Structure 1
């Protein structure tokens, strides 16, 4: 009898409950959260960041690269409820993780992005695709020899795969990245 849309939450409104949750799960203050929210709503008046808008933002940060493939993986990782958009909470959790999370958290997030088929492991094919997407993003054109994405993926898995199954678990990935600065710099830049 009542309006069935009455239970929907207005995604443009930052509620006290959302602020408390974000303060508890990020390193941001209430003032910073409110500032981020104002900017998010200015850029995304509906309260939702679409994949196309996400790509265009990345293209601004990497003008010499091609952001589309990389953004496919990143967007899927940040769209935690898989509804095809990123809301403010998902956005803030992603920002917090990529900017100020500790090394293990950031490496775990990177693993989740690279494990785009959600099997709990990363194989050579997945890693090759992500490395190619990272090259596209940064404008890297040298893809021969040691820079070949498949060669890089095979080398990373060879170094990090302690079980010998030619796949990396999250634990192997994190340990391998932490113990090898070259791998860490390639797979998790800005850490």
Structure 2
């Protein structure tokens, strides 16, 4: 079998499918990725309860059949979203991630919880407190001022604000994980 040297950062190439499958099955012989293994994949340890809840919500959004595991097809779908997904797809995923209680709306507390979690995981200090940043974001996207952000408000508000769009795009930047997996695949060929 030929060596695939194309950049998966641009797209998940068909010639790599077999290698991705082989890597997944080598790392997860049961064919299922558990929540614990998901955290290991991202190198996440000793998380606060809030950060752990965020990672669990992220895991749940990738677990499309809600069986408590990520199988190979869900894994590929997640990679495709990260690598090839357009702005609309990524924003739809972000809305689902931020809507912690699955009500169809994001409230200030949910937004604040996610912002605190992302900051804790990334370890990035900020001049603006999480509370102030959540209020700024919420005020920008809660167009009708009802205290909840609908999917439509979220999509419109984020796409009309370049700072928010950049921030959300960066929050889904998992290229370092994909690069790590690719390096491991190349060394095992």
Coarse TM-score class (shorter-chain normalised) = 0.7 to 0.9
Distance 2:54 2:101 in 1: 15
Aligned to 1:157: 138
- Asked if structure 2 preserves the Cα contact closer than 8 Å seen for 1:70 and 1:137, the reply is no
Gaps of 5+ in 1: 1-26
Distance 1:50 1:28 in 2: 23
Q: TM-score, normalised on structure 1?
A: 0.75
Aligned to 1:82: 66
Residue by residue over 1:97-127, the C-alpha shift from the partner in whole angstroms, topping out at 9 and shown as x without a partner, is 1221111111111111111211111110011
Aligned to 1:179: 160
Q: Which fold has the larger relative contact order, with Cα–Cα distance below 8 Å and residues 6 or more apart in sequence? A: 2
Q: TM-score, normalised on structure 2?
A: 0.76
How far off its partner does 1:174 sit?
1.7
Match of 2:149, SS state, is strand
Equivalent pairs, count: 159
How far off its partner does 1:161 sit?
1.4
Out of 94-103 and 170-179, give the one that drifted further.
170-179
Aligned to 1:47: 31
How far off its partner does 1:50 sit?
0.5
TM-align CA RMSD: 2.2
- Asked if structure 1 preserves the Cα contact closer than 8 Å seen for 2:108 and 2:147, the reply is yes
Match of 1:83, SS state, is coil
Q: Are 1:36 and 2:17 counterparts? A: no
- Asked if structure 1 preserves the Cα contact closer than 8 Å seen for 2:95 and 2:151, the reply is yes
Aligned to 1:102: 86
From 98, 122, 135, give the equivalent of 1:138. 122
Match of 1:168, SS state, is strand
Distance 1:70 1:181 in 2: 24
Match of 1:147, SS state, is coil
Gaps of 5+ in 2: 1-10, 175-189
Distance 1:124 1:52 in 2: 29
